[in-house]
A and B are shown apart, each in its own frame.
Chain A
């Protein structure tokens, strides 16, 4: 008998810690439930109108909305289109409107939603829909590019890394968490009106550099955001802060940029 075979056939050693049943120590069944997934379908090749389509399935307590979408695509209707890359809340590809709120499908557990009613899944609003849950992100990234989301330093290039104190890093820590999923910008009623507003995501990423002690182009970015379509269009409705799957205090970041422009101009 080879060592590998031994490892495969020998029973696992008993756990040294016995968890009581109420803490899940029994390793029992994962609860399952039946859900209806109501997806907003749009196929520009067949119809100019989008329609609701229901999918019924049995899912488990550990499943997320993304798993339900996968189940539809892999087992029921392969034509369902949506974006997802990492599927673990880091890449920001699968922001969608679930039960009327912008969230990441990969971070929303089905058991946290009301499974007695159909779970609605729509594309995020304010951006042109290309197919089903896929929207054209170009307007979003255009305003992101416009705020110059990269380090600009006019001094001499140091031989080693650019040093920064813990306090200086803390100043913009919150806004470094952005994953560019567009949940904030596509939840903003001002962005919905005409799509010309820079949007919370662009301002958050400008904030990340404006308050970075190593960056020298803060004035330039503040000038860009002092535009007619810049920070002054923000009405502090807090939709963005509520929508952010990373918990960034978006409205606060926008307010800090407003303050910075004011204190610079006056």
Chain B
């Protein structure tokens, strides 16, 4: 009779409210701040890069292997490109991290996607940095396919 319990209604899905404190205090704040600051710096770096490469002098027609080699022989452009590489990679990685956090529903999926993301970002950052600093247009010992400005051995 009235002692019968009424079964709980079956809701479509009940998201459990399971917020918990994480150890990384203020990490999200630093990430948020980094996105704003790196964004502003990247606007200058990228448009400067595009202007110098595509507009100055002969413009787009000047771009070839020698042009890049010439740029990277100057420490100024090495630092410029290094900054652009690091900031763009970290900015983009953090953006994708946010998207994964938002849209991956299961913890396993989230972990997997973020692991792939971090490995990819690390490989590109390390490889790019290595290329910028160790780039040598005229490697010793090479005989064929050298650009014309290299000293003839």
Give residues in A with beta carbon < 8 Å to B: 42, 44-45, 48, 50, 128-131, 136, 138-139, 142-143, 146, 190, 193-196, 226-230, 232-233, 258, 261-262, 265
Interface of B is mostly: loop
CA distance A128 to B14 in the complex (A): 6
Residue from B13, B22, B27, B28 whose CB has the most chain A CB atoms within 10 Å = B28
In the complex, chain B residues 11-35 whose Cβ is within 8 Å of any chain A Cβ: 11-15, 17-19, 21-22, 24-29, 31-33
Selected contact of B15 from candidates A190, A194, A229, A232, CB within 8 Å: A194
Establish whether residues B19 and A196, one from each chain, have CB atoms under 8 Å apart when the complex forms: yes
Given A128-B14, A194-B15: A45 in contact with B9 (beta carbons within 8 A):
yes
Q: B67 an interface residue at 8 Å Cβ cutoff?
A: no
Q: B105 an interface residue at 8 Å Cβ cutoff?
A: yes
Establish whether residues B28 and A228, one from each chain, have CB atoms under 8 Å apart when the complex forms: yes
Given A196-B17, A258-B32: A190 in contact with B102 (beta carbons within 8 A):
yes
Residues from chain B with Cβ under 8 Å of A265 in the complex: 26, 29
| Chain B nearest CB, measured from A261 CB (Å) | 6
Given A128-B13, A129-B12, A139-B17: A194 in contact with B26 (beta carbons within 8 A):
no
| Chain A nearest CB, measured from B95 CB (Å) | 11
Given A190-B102, A262-B33: A227 in contact with B19 (beta carbons within 8 A):
yes
Give residues in B with beta carbon < 8 Å to A: 9-15, 17-19, 21-22, 24-29, 31-33, 102-103, 105
| Chain A nearest CB, measured from B151 CB (Å) | 53
Establish whether residues B29 and A128, one from each chain, have CB atoms under 8 Å apart when the complex forms: no
**Total A-B residue contacts, Cβ distance less than 8 Å:** 65
Residues from chain B with Cβ under 8 Å of A195 in the complex: 15, 17
Given A196-B17, A196-B18, A196-B19: A232 in contact with B9 (beta carbons within 8 A):
no
Known contacts A226-B25, A226-B26, A261-B29; 13 further A-B pairs (Cβ under 8 A): A45-B10, A128-B11, A128-B15, A136-B14, A143-B17, A194-B105, A196-B17, A226-B28, A228-B27, A230-B28, A232-B28, A233-B28, A265-B26
Selected contact of B29 from candidates A129, A146, A229, A262, CB within 8 Å: A262
CA distance A233 to B97 in the complex (A): 12
Residues from chain B with Cβ under 8 Å of A139 in the complex: 15, 17
Establish whether residues A48 and B29, one from each chain, have CB atoms under 8 Å apart when the complex forms: no
Residues from chain A with Cβ under 8 Å of B17 in the complex: 138-139, 142-143, 195-196
Residues from chain A with Cβ under 8 Å of B28 in the complex: 226-228, 230, 232-233
Residues from chain A with Cβ under 8 Å of B33 in the complex: 262
B27's nearest neighbour on chain A, judged by CB, is A228
